[in-house]
Every structure is written in structure tokens, then in C-alpha cells.
Chain A
Amino acid sequence: MPPPSSSPTHICLLVKHISSASTMAEPVHPAPTMPFASSSSAPGPAQQSTAENPRQTQTLPIRDSKDANATNSDKAPHKGKDTTASAVGGDGAGDKALSPAELKKKAKAEKTARRAKEKLEREGPAPAVGGAPAAGAGGSQARPSATSKKDGAPGGSQKGQRAPPPRRGSVAAAQHGAAEQQKKRKEDKSVAVFGHLYGQQRRTTIAGAGKEVHPAVLALGLQMRDYVVCGSSARCVATLLAFKRVVESYTTPLGTSLSRHLTAHLSHQITYLSTCRPLSISQGNAIRALKLTIASIDPSTPETSAKATLCDFIDSFIREKITIADKVIADSAAQKISDGDVIVTFAGSSIVKETLLEAHRQGKRFRVSIIDSRPLFEGKNMARALANAGLDVQYSLVHAVSHAIKDATKVFLGAHAMTSNGRLYSRVGTALVAMSAKERAGGVEVPVIVCCETVKFTDRVALDSIVVNEIADADELVSPSPPQQVTDLPDPAAAAATAQSDSNKKGAHRAPSNPSADTPASSSDDSPLTKWKDTPNLQLLNIMYDVTPAEYVDMVVTEMGSLPPSAVPIVHRMSTNM
């Protein structure tokens, strides 16, 4: 049934997202242009990067470890250096022809030099400790300084001599030390079993994004990274809407056809998005469908009509696969709720929220217990929405699962994806809730119902939560220390506040041995984790998803009906073949 009431609101909301995205992009824009400028105008970068957020320096280690190797390899071909040096000198004179081997060496040396230079620029703040003028000079004459390093001590070329020797030493030492230190840090901080998931750090700015990337996509990427657009379906819809704008503003270059070039053009956008945050399964499915449609467009179709076809396709995809699917799922899942139920749910799933609101609209009387977790606290928004709608809401965190599940009658869960072996891939902690529902003390199992659009079905399989997962920035675990800090009270006031509410609050489990004595001290301090990156052997792990075994899931409610989890691969095949 076509629900004209619900679909526009949904899309409106997302359109608002996109429009706010473009407005958001504006303040972001100027920043990234600076690094661009910095590579050309030299003295800028040192100050610029010191002024920039410290995150920038956090991203260093990965590259630096590479660079450390580079400097090592820099030393290794020392023998060849004299020849290279003379070659460089000779180049200027233009008298000698170089053998291919020498050419290769030269190219290699130049490459290392270039790397060293890039590093130097990036590392602006680090050598600045050693000597600010040196760093400035290094920035301004990065190229020559690097060459000087390449040249080795004797017989430096003219360029090399222009760079004063002491600077070379200090810079190199500083670089080396910093690189070594940061390499060590970097090695420490990725949890061993999850090593394969620490591919690249999430993009922190839109600097370096290709010029092909559409502004709407640029903004969306940042929003997804910051969890402004969060949740599998929301990300999917937002991506499709952004791609719609990409398609709208697209003109086929001369000499290519739309069906060929647009796919390549889109893949720039997709690459950018995936550097902001790994793509969700639903995004992947939507993109695949879109690419299929693009490929199926007849090259002879005029551009305007092709674009209109694509926009129509995107709209109908959103409508069919998500908007209406959500409505259908909410309707059929709401039927599973009866009067007097106690529904437990985990974190914030938009579709579970819709289901509960729908059931409430139907006049059913039930209680909702929302379990939430750090660091995203997605359940808070859901609790707010449900409470505002007048539902009876109970809110607790994941430590209280076994209490919340005690009087539960049904568990509703959202999904990030359903794998082909029937397992539920969802926000980390979901498995704990499902397990608690199935392994209750009394032996009475609580039905676990998953609400999931078929667009989230995937043909991938998963056995555990380690092979396939997403690692979020571990710093998210550090920040929100006690509520005192969030409300931004000055410390004495915070201490007074704690003192006032002492009977409950004071030192509740604050310290292992003697809790109460420490309260003011610890509240004035930052979280002890703020320096975790400098603490050897300490690692923080912030994974995003976990895999719930199929036996914990009783039913998957989709827009195609309510299924057992074993039906996922069949439905997935059906829906992709259509």
C-alpha cells in the first residue's frame, strides 16, 4: 500500500540532512584548501599544521613507519650516492649520459627525497621542537634539504651545499627520533586479533579528496564519519540522495558515453565515502543496484533522459526498498506486540522505533526497555522519541542487561545486516542482549525478533565478530568523562555538586579500595585514558558490530514477510534477481 504520509517525511528528513550537509560543508571548505596551498607555498605548512587540530598528528604514525623504512633504505644505497650526487651535479652541467642503472638509482633517490620532503612538511610541528628556524627553513627549501640528505657528506652538488649541513643533521635526527617513537606507538595501538581491520584511519578532513567528488558527497562523508548520519538505512538513503545530486549535476564529457563514464565518476564518490567510514552492507547493495542500472542504460539515450531515468530509479529504490519497506515491516512487527508486553530493544534502530510507535498508535499498551551502550548512546534518541510519543520507557545500559531481560516478553532488534548463514550483524552488544534473552535463568526463552529490510541482506557469511567488523576511533571511548564535565561546571562547583548528592553518588564504586576519599581529585582530573596513546602496552578497542548466532534469532521481519534466519540467503537471491 502506498503510504503518502510516511514516505515524504522520511525523505524530507533526509533531504534536510543533505541540505544541511551542503551548509555544513562551507565552514569545512576553507580548511582543506590550506593544505593544498601549503604544498606550494612553503613556510605556511609548519605553522599551519601546528595550528591545526592535534588529530592531524595522530594520523602520522602510519605513514611515518613507512618513512622510517625510507630513511633506512636511504642509508643502504650509500655507495651509489656519490654517483648519484655526481649525476645530479652532472645533470646540471648536462655533460654525461647516464646508464639505465644509474637512472634507476637516481629515480629512486629522488623518490626517497620526495618522501622525505613530504614527511618534513607533514611533520612541521615535530622538528619545531628542535629549532623553529630550522623547521621553517626546511619547509621553505624542503626540496634542497632533502637532496642534501641524499647527497651524503662529500662532494655534494650545488643544491646540497646551499642547504647548510647542521640543519640537515638536526632535522634528520629529529625526524628519525620522532619517526621511531611514533612507529613504536603505532605498533602498540592496534589490537592484534583485529590487525586486519585497521586498514586506514578514517578521514579527518576533506583535504585530499579528489576534485571529482561532489560537495554533497563531501559533506555526507563527514556526516557519516561523525555519526550525524548513522544507521544502515539512513546511510543508504543519504548516499542515494547524494548520488542523485551527483547524477543531476553530471554532464558526460566528450568522447565517452554516460553509462561508461558515470560509473567511473561514481566510483570516485564511493571511494571517498568509504574513506570516511567503511560502507554499510545496505550502501553496498544500493550502489550495486545503481551501477547495474547505469550499465544497462543504452548509450544512445540522450543524456537528459538517461539522467531522469537514473533519478527515477534512485527515488523508486529508496521508496521501495526502504521507505515503504520500513512501513510494511513496522506494520507487521507491530502485530507481534500485544497488550502487557515488555519489549526489550538494544541501541537505536530506526525501524524498531517505527514498529514501537506504530504499535502504540494502534492503542496497544506495553512497556519498552531500551538498553544502550557506550560510546554512541544511540538508544537515547530512541528513548526520547518514544517517551515523547507517550510510551512507557525504561532506559538502562548494557551492564544491566540481565536485569532488563528478567521481565521481558519480547526482544526487538535492529540489524546492520543479515548474513547468508542467518547470523545477525548489528551494533556491538546486540549479541549480548539476544543471548540474555535466550539463556535466561528461569529457562523461559524470550522470542527475539529482528526487523530488517531485505536491502540489508548480504551474501557474505560470518562466523565470529572478528573477521568482519569495523573499527571505530578508539578515542571515542576516552572523551566523555563524568557528567560534571559535560555540563561544563567549573571544578569546585562540580565537587560541591557531588558533595551534595553524596549519599548515592559519592564515590559509587569510584575507586577500588577507598572510594570516597578520592572524589574531588578524580573529578578535577581528566580521564586517565587521555594519554593512552603514550602509554605502552595499553590498547583501546572500539569495534562497531558483533555477530549474533542464528540460533538466538527466532524471526526476521522483512518487507517480504516474517522469516526464520535460515531463509536469508533465499530471500537475498530473490531480491537481487528481481
Chain B
Amino acid sequence: MPSTSLALTPGLASFLKSLKTNPIDTSIENLISLLKRRQIRHSRSCATATAYLLLRVISACRTSDPVKLIERVQSVGRRLVAAQAREMVVGNIVRRVLGLIRDEAEDDRDAEFALSEAGSESQPQTPRALDDTSFPLDRDSPSMRPDGDRSSSRPPLTSMFSLLSHPEPEASLPSTPGSASPGGRGPGQGSKDVRAEVLEGINEIIDELGQVDDQIAAYALDHIHSNEIILTHTSSTTVQKFLLKAAAKRKFTVIHAESFPNNHEATHATVSGTASSEDELMSVESFQKPLIALGITVILIPDSAVFALMSRVNKVILGTHSVLANGGLIAAAGTRVIARAAKVHQTPVVVVSGVYKLSPVYPFDFDSLIEYGDASKVLSYEDGDLVDKIEVQNPLYDYVPAELVDLYITNLGGHAPSYLYRIVSDHYRMEDISF
């Protein structure tokens, strides 16, 4: 059954399968149409698809010139983002890849500067693959690099003001030809390294996407104590893994709001432990036992009962669709009212999210981020007489302002919402923010 449906329905699995055989342009078109038709949904699927596609794009690039690579990735990235602007992870992955290329190009140039005294291999060892948690990341990037030429090539990223001011991408581009000019002088091994390093970096990103939930789950015991009552919403794999990790050691109670029209089926499947078939398709995803199998009491409630129960809840743990640089987040509809109810009851709200969902975009118009879904989920066909007369709304997402969130837990650890801008600046380069 799953195999037939896999073959029939386009999605992440079929896309990844076809990626190896199809020519690169077909794959790009394929992903664009998948995004447009919403056949790839959810942050991680989109991110994985984008990363694999960019891997193909770069490995298919005949040139090794960083400028050309950047242009190529930018053009593909623009098309992908245009296809589905609200899946912000697509843009995030593109930015990360662009950052990788720029870093490699700069490291390459640094290496040539330093070629006379130091081995060229020492510098490319520090790519901007900050996803790797083995490094103490924040200190890593500034200290490991020579600072002298850094300031000339790009503006320092330590200020939040520079983060919010949108830099024109053209202003930074002249620096890149500058960095590429050594490549022009010695087009042989140096630039070839760039491509290999970038491919390696993308593979690291893909690895990160696979591990991110487990990395986040590793913090679970720091945040969940015994006999706690935890409220969550929708069927986020990240949240489930987080809770499962804690459930292995501690006993607590989970109240699960079902997020009715859009995600209740998946939520029901998650709480009752019947979520199976779709997870087999996902190679990175070997789904684990449901919480109830570990002896955790799970109480499923309709969304409307959240306020009534909030007075007994100790902690609200939420998944998210994407996180914005200002500390706010875009999450499944209903999240905002839950976070608000938690605030009213002085209940801490914890958001678990991979760093890849962290978007450098600062939206001034929040409504533009909200996607509206199928109205027939709200009002089914049996009420067809009503459909003509009334307006039915089914928003898929909510914007949750930063002040409603108490803590973010990413694969890098726990952060206050006000600290997120700093992680953003560690992960994306200024010149790529609006690529």
C-alpha cells in the first residue's frame, strides 16, 4: 500500500528518487511545481528537498568559479522562493548554501594570501557549517579567522541594526569578484576545492536536517520535570521526539490539542500511535513509539478546551513552521491563542525548532506570511447550501509575537527570543539576506 501510493503521489520521496535520474533542469521544475502545488509541505521536507536539489545543482555546475556558482544558486533559489514564498526554509537553505560558497571563496583567497607561510589546508577546515554542534559556534567564527581582511570584504554582523537594515545585494557583489580574482589568477586547484567544499557543506546541512530533532531532543531532560503537565498542539515530529526523550526517564502528562480542521488526523494518529505508513517513506525518519507506549498519559482535547485546562498546565511546548529574526514565529493556526492563554495563566511557552527554520526575514506585514487553506475542511460539502452565502476562512498559520514565547530550544541549545537575531547573524551572511 505505501509503495503504490508512493509511486502515485508526488512528494518528497518521489522527488528525491527522481533527482538522481532526471536532468537538473527537470528536477528544478519538478520541485517548483511540487512547491506550488503544495505537494511538499512542512518545513523539513521543503528544506531537505531544497538541499538535495542544490547539491545536484552545484555538482552539475561545470564551472568552479564562485561567482558563477553564486549566480547559479541565486537564480535557482529565486525561482524556488517565488514558487512558495511562505515556505521560508527554502530561502533559508538557499542562503546557507550561498553563505557556504562565499565562505569557501573567501577562505580560498585567504589561503592564497597565507600561502607563503601557512599550509593552504588549515583554513578551509573551517567552513561556515555552523550547524555542526561539536563546535562552540559563536566563538568559532570570529576567532578562527584573520580579522584584517574580513572587515574589508563584508560588514561586521554583530549589530542588530545592520541585521534589520536591508543591504542591497549589489553592494556586496563587487567584493565577490574581488575574491574571485585570485581564482582567475590561479584557476587550477583552488577553485576546484571550492566546489568540493561546498558540496561537503551541503551534505552537512542535509545531515543536520536529519539529526536536528534528535539534537533538540537531547535537551529535553533539562526542561521537563517529573509529574509535569505539558500542553502541545498539532503533530510536530520535533515536539514528539522531544517529549519521547523525556518520557524515557520521567513520567509526565501530555495534553494534546488536536488542531482541528487542518492537522487533526495526523494528531489523532500521533497520539494513538498509528502514524506509520507515511513515516516509512521518509528515510531520515524512523518513527518511534508513541508517547502512550512509554506509559505517558496523553489527553486529547479539542482546541476550544485549551483555556479551560491551561490553569493546570505547567508548560506549553510548541512546534513551529518557521521562526523569524525578531523572535516571533509562524506556526500552525491556533498556536497564537494557545500561547496567549499560556501567557494569561503565567505558563511558560517553549518553542522547539531546528535552526534551519530560523529565517533572517523580518516581515513588517505579518498577514503576508499567513497562508489560507482549504475552506471545505471547515465547512464540508454537506453544508453546500451555506457555502454560497457565507465566507469561510481557514488560515493555516498564525503569527505568534515574540513576547508570547519564553524560550526557544534549537539544536544549539536554549535561547531567549531576544537572542535569536544573533543566531541568525551566525548562520546567514548579510549579502544573502535578500538574495
Contact = CB atoms under 8 A, between A and B. Distances in A.
B11 A514 contact: yes
B272 A508 contact: no
Contact of B268 (A398, A519, A528): A528
B118 interface: no
A517 B259 contact: no
A380 B9 contact: no
Interface string B356-391: 000000000000001001101111111101100111
Nearest to A476: B302
B193 to A, nearest CB: 35
A512 interface: yes
Contacts of B391: 392-395
Contacts of A469: 308
B285 interface: yes
Interface string A452-482: 0000000000001110010000000100011
Q: Which of A388, A482, A507, A545 has the most CB of B within 10 A?
A: A507
A191 interface: yes
B39 A540 contact: no
Contacts of B390: 383, 387, 393-395
Nearest to B263: A509
Nearest to A427: B304
A428 B310 CA distance: 13
B153 interface: no
B336 A380 contact: no
A513 B279 contact: yes
Interface stretch (B21-29, B63-71, B292-300, B426-434): B292-300
Contacts of B298: 537-539
Contacts of B167: none
A435 B304 contact: no
Nearest to B378: A397
Given A502-B37, A521-B2, A527-B268, A431 B11 contact: no
Nearest to B379: A395
Contacts of B341: 431-432, 435
Interface residues of A, number: 82
Interface string A432-444: 1001100101000
B263 to A, nearest CB: 4
B372 to A, nearest CB: 9
A401 interface: yes
A394 B393 contact: yes
A516 B275 contact: no
Contact of B266 (A466, A487, A501, A512): A512
A531 interface: yes
A375 B381 contact: no
A487 B381 contact: yes
A543 B312 CA distance: 15
A383 B11 contact: no
A517 B11 contact: yes
Contacts of B396: 508-509
Nearest to A441: B401
B307 interface: yes
Nearest to B37: A503
Interface string B388-421: 0111111110100100000000000000000000
A254 interface: no
Contact of A431 (B237, B307, B392): B307
A535 B265 contact: no
Interface string B93-113: 000000000000000000000
A398 B398 CA distance: 12
Contacts of B253: 192
Of listed B333, B374, B390, residue having the most chain A CB within 10 A = B390
Interface string A378-393: 0010011001100011
A374 B304 contact: yes
Contacts of B374: 501, 504-505, 508
Interface in A512-544: 512-522, 527-529, 531-532, 535-543
B268 A529 contact: yes
Nearest to A396: B393
Contact of B394 (A193, A393, A400): A400
A402 interface: yes
Interface in B114-170: none
A535 B292 contact: yes
Contact of A511 (B39, B275, B295, B302): B275
Given A398-B303, A399-B303, A527-B268, A515 B41 contact: yes
A299 B44 CA distance: 79
A124 interface: no
A396 B396 CA distance: 12
Contacts of B398: 402-403
Nearest to B262: A509
A518 B272 contact: no
Given A518-B277, A528-B268, A513 B42 contact: yes
Contacts of A192: 253, 297
A486 interface: yes
Contacts of A439: 340, 343-344
A519 B38 CA distance: 13
B373 A504 contact: yes
A535 B297 contact: no
A483 interface: yes
Given A515-B278, A529-B272, A477 B333 contact: no
A466 to B, nearest CB: 7
Contact of B305 (A380, A394, A481, A546): A546
A359 interface: no
Given A464-B311, A465-B308, A402 B336 contact: yes
Contacts of B255: 541
A451 interface: no
A258 to B, nearest CB: 44
Contacts of B311: 464-466
A343 interface: no
Contacts of A542: 301-302, 305
B299 to A, nearest CB: 5
Given A384-B383, A540-B299, 7 more contacts: A380-B386, A393-B391, A402-B398, A465-B309, A466-B308, A502-B37, A542-B302
Which 3 interchain pairs have the tightest Cβ spacing?
Answer: A429-B304, A483-B380, A465-B308
Interface of B: 1-2, 5-6, 8-13, 37-42, 44-45, 234-237, 240, 253, 255, 258-263, 265-266, 268-275, 277-279, 281-282, 285, 291-293, 295-309, 311-312, 332-334, 336-337, 340-341, 343-344, 370, 373-374, 376-383, 385-386, 389-396, 398, 401
